[in-house]
Structure formats: C-alpha cells, structure tokens
Structure 1
C-alpha cells in the first residue's frame, strides 16, 4: 500500500475565522437529555477533538452538527450560516462532510467504484437511472486522485468487502473528500485498529487537514495528543472543559471524569 500523498487544499478564510459554531444545543429523547446547552467554537484550520466517557453525548453532538438530528433547541452555524434546519445533503453542499464509526462503504463495489459513486452526488448523474459508463468514467481521474490522497491507489480494483478495517477507514475518509469539504467530521477514525493502523490514520488525518478544519470524536488519548489543536470534553451531555491537550489533561474535573491514571502517564 502506498503512503498517503498531499491532498488538494481548499479555500480558507481569514485567521481566527469560526468555521463551525454551536450555541446552546439541547437534544431530548423521550425525557432523556442527551445534550444540554452545548456551545462550542471550531476555528478555521484547526483539528478539534471531542472526547468524553461513554454516554457523554459525543455521537449525538456529531449528529446535530451534521444535520442527522434536529436539536430540541439551540443552533448550529457553518461559516456564519445557520445549518441546523437543513437536511444532511444540503449541509454537505455547504462544505461539511463526515465519516461514521460504523463502516458505510458499498461492500460489493470496488474501491474506485465507491469513490465514483460518491463523486456523482453534486452532479446531475444521480437523478439519471441509466447512466452510460463513459459518463461515469469522466469522474475517474478525480477518483484516482482521491485514492492516491488516502493511500489506496494500489487497491483501486479490490472489492471494498475485502479491505482490512484500517483500509475501510481510509476509503471512508476518501469518500468524505469527494465533496471537497471545508469542514470534515471524523467519528472514531482509529476505532478497533492496531498500532500500525493507528499510525497510518494519524498521518492521513494530518494530510487531509491541510487547508481544512477537522473535528474528530476519538477515545484514544494518544491520538488526541498527537493531532488535536484544541479539545472539548463532554460529560453527561454538557461541556466539562475546553482547551489545549495540556490544559485539559491537568483539569481535575477531566481527570476525575475521564482520563484517570492515563493523565499521569
């Protein structure tokens, strides 16, 4: 497998621009409050990690940020535009893409075909039931570039079902890149991986973050320490702390709630 190459940079705003912002996000499920007045600012160009113990509300927050859930109250803005009232596909077209913790690739398609299918989304092709292969092949060069960017160019003809766990993660990130997102949300990108796979994904996230804003949910604190510019800690659906890795790991509330002895390692 070839190493990830540099990815195409996307346009960025002035230094200090807030790319993604949440204000007072509340989500209730039949009397259970999964997020409680969550507010956060994600700055343009940073890698921002969201951490917390199981049940802290991380996945719910990701779903609220990406439009897969509507908040009970509060709002989400992307580069100043309110997006929490929009469906997920409309949010993607405004510049925010995400990956999922559970694999979302098409197992019966090849790696390259998975990317080509994703590339059809912003074109008129999805609305055409019968599409000539020649028209799909017009998307081939861009698909090949994305596969090179995520280190899967040598695996382009393999079925997605035959990929290893780490390779599927690479493919999912590649699929997320097909929409040229300005903000990329990654849900547990190193989950279930060995050390070699983790190292590969860390390198890949650094590559795709060039010229982009990346928000990730991640349990592996070594990964967070290596990647994150800033961290938001959730507990019981609320923001417990926010800051740099060093600031967060020294916060007594965080140590008690999540890091424990790992903070002293």
Structure 2
C-alpha cells in the first residue's frame, strides 16, 4: 500500500492573530499557514485587514493577541530587523527606495546592513564595493542589470517595484512578503512582475497581497481571503474561487478570472 506523501513544512504561520486600534479590531483571530516553497496570495476587499496582517507577520506591528511563527520559531516578540535576520523580508505598497541614489547604490546600502559597515561612520563608500558582485547579480536577477548607474528617482513605477524586490532580496530571505507588487501597473509591467515573482520564488516561499485576480490566478498555489479582518476562506485558488461566500463577498458573480 502506498504511503501518503508527507505534509509540506510550514514556513510561516499565524495563530489567532488579533490587532486592535483604539476599539477597532483590524484583524480578528486570523489563522494562516504558508507552506514552505509555495506562492501564497492574500486577497480581500479594501479594509479587509491585509496590510495590517502583513505588518503583524513582519514585526512592524505587535499583535494584541496571538502569535507568529517562522519555521516553527515564535517571532512576533522580535523587532523587524531581527525577523529579517531570521529569514523574512518584505516590500511595501508605497515606494521605499532612496531616490537620490543610483539603482546599484540602493542595493549596496541594503547589502551592507547586516555587516559591521553601518557602524563605521568614516569608512568611505568605496568599501561597499566589496559587495559589488552580489549587487550586480541581484540587479540582473530583477531585470535591472542594464541600468546600475541610473538614479532611482528616474525609474518608472514598474522599475521601482523591481528595485524594491531586489532590495528585499539582499538579505537572502527564505520567506518574501510582497505588498501589492503590481499596483498601478499596465499589462506590460504586470507581465514583467509575474515573471519576476516566479523567478525569485525559486527555492523560497513568497506571500503576496494582490488585488489583481488575474495575477493571483497566474501565480498563487494557495490563497487566503480576508473579510472584515477575519479569514473567510483558504485553500487552492480553484477551490476558493468557487466558494459561494467568496463569490458573494469579493470575486463577483462570475467567480473571478478563470
């Protein structure tokens, strides 16, 4: 008799997460399991609690109740930079690059953060060149290898998103959180980001908040649907999109994009 395949390891887990803001409950008893190596999408209408959940998972907010575990270790008591060093990085919905630095300098600054260099105030910028090979490899991976000297301020919206993902990759994360990576993009930019997410997902776990259901259908192995701060449904995309509660609350009468 064939043995059942072992259950995949849990990379990121939320247990009973609650977050209250002065009487308003932004997340309510959220339970989430993200399997190691999968692309997991978090969807829901505006105000569903998606960004709050991301902030809780990455340590930028502390839960009122509940806990977050990264590969089994409890991390909600840690500061964001400590969680990064445990293997979780994230991007933000609002651009977070240094506009007056070049594309390459943005990546170099991020690469030096876990080294002793930030504490050596009088070390010349040239010392960062020891990290140059890694910076160039990251830029190539995110499709910006041809513009290392370009000012970040001069990048298009889509290129800034690519740079932000590159910055997130500097810590070599095992889990990468992407907050609306295709927001404000046209079809060409969306196609580039889909290809980029697939590339960076090789050998790691990706969790993304995304409004574009075509992107979710293209990328996600599993999805979690939030409504009013609670989990409405979770599972494979094809199963969740047919859930009557999800259709009524979010996807529309046709069940979303095929």
Whether these two folds match at TM > 0.5 is yes
CA distance in 1, matches of 2:254, 2:162: 28
Give yes or no for contact 1:15–1:44 (8 Å, CA) kept in 2: no
- Number of residue pairs matched? 252
CA distance in 1, matches of 2:71, 2:202: 18
Distance apart, 1:261 and its partner CA: 3.5
Q: Does 1:126 align with 2:126?
A: no
Unmatched 5+ stretches in structure 2: 1-5
Match of 2:219 in 1: 227
Q: Does 1:208 align with 2:200?
A: yes
What's the TM-score once normalised by structure 2's chain length?
0.96
CA distance in 2, matches of 1:111, 1:225: 31
Q: Does 1:161 align with 2:149?
A: no
Give yes or no for contact 2:85–2:171 (8 Å, CA) kept in 1: yes
Match of 1:254 in 2: 246
Match of 1:105 in 2: 97
Match of 1:67 in 2: 59
Q: C-alpha deviations, 1:96-142, integer Å up to 9, x for none?
A: 00000000000000000000000011100011112223311111110
Give yes or no for contact 2:138–2:170 (8 Å, CA) kept in 1: yes
Matches within 5 A, 1:66-105: 66-105=58-97
What's the TM-score once normalised by structure 1's chain length?
0.93
Unmatched 5+ stretches in structure 1: 1-13
Give yes or no for contact 1:51–1:232 (8 Å, CA) kept in 2: yes
Match of 1:9 in 2: none
RMSD: 1.0
- The runs of at least 4 consecutive aligned structure 1 residues that moved more than 4 Å come to none
Give yes or no for contact 1:185–1:215 (8 Å, CA) kept in 2: yes
Give yes or no for contact 2:213–2:256 (8 Å, CA) kept in 1: no
